Amino acid sequence: MSPERLDRILLWFGFRQRTLRNKIHYRNVLGNGIPANRRSMTDHVTKKEHEDFIRRTIELSRRAALEYCTGGVFGAVIVKDGKIVSEGMNRVVASHDPTWHAEMEAIRSASITLQSFKLTDCILYTSAEPCPMCLAASYWAGIEQVFYAASVEDAFEYGNFDDRPIYEQLALPKEQRSIKLTQLLRDEAIVVWREYQAKADKIHY
């Protein structure tokens, strides 16, 4: 994925260009090197270990698509301190759940395993470049680095998985999107928000 394309995706999500570079570093495992400002997170992980983690995601993608037939060609693992803490594979077809992507399963499992809704110092490895939903979930989870194998373009060419319409929709003003957004009863909803704002023991995330 080119830097220009990443910048466009971030703009679609309402993030500044600087956010991706500082928060989540996207890197194809076949690419060159690790930027200096992200080296501290991967100093203890060798290139072979990175590749082993990716190979595990590829094996999970094979299981999902060809062996168990639970969904598309997608697998993911989350690693902390050089060890896999969770795994996930696509189960959209088997579960009748459009959100059951490999990355989502891995994030949910890691959060349960680590008993935290923030996956600090965790790395996401995935067999294919995350879709907009999984990328957004990575931000919510506090994941700082993602390694992937196949690109969005590969997923489209070989599997007809096309994220482009979603990117295009997110780039449009709300009023022009195919899913109509209609606001109702804002004043009543804000009453609860104000109570939440005043709640002394609320947990921030």
Q: Give the chain's mean pLDDT.
A: 86
Q: Which residue of the set 4, 59, 87, 103 is catalytic?
A: 103
Q: Is 67 a catalytic residue?
A: no
Does 55 have pLDDT greater than 80?
yes
Residue 150: beta bridge partners? 128
Measure the CA–CA gap between 16 and 202, rounded to whole angstroms.
28
pLDDT, tens digit (0-9, with 9 covering 90-100), for 140-183: 999 999 999 999 999 999 999 999 899 899 999 999 999 999 99
Measure the CA–CA gap between 44 and 65, rounded to whole angstroms.
32
CA contacts within 13 A on the Cβ side of 101: 18
Q: DSSP alpha helices (H): ranges in the chain?
A: 3-12, 17-23, 39-42, 47-62, 92-95, 102-114, 132-141, 152-159, 164-171, 186-198
pLDDT, tens digit (0-9, with 9 covering 90-100), for 94-147: 999 999 999 999 999 999 999 999 999 999 999 999 999 999 999 999 999 999
- 45 band by pLDDT with thresholds 50, 70 and 90: confident
Measure the CA–CA gap between 70 and 90, rounded to whole angstroms.
6
- Find where tokens 């990575």 sit: 138
pLDDT at residue 11 in the model:
46
- At 148, list the tokens: 């992937």
pLDDT at residue 5 in the model:
54
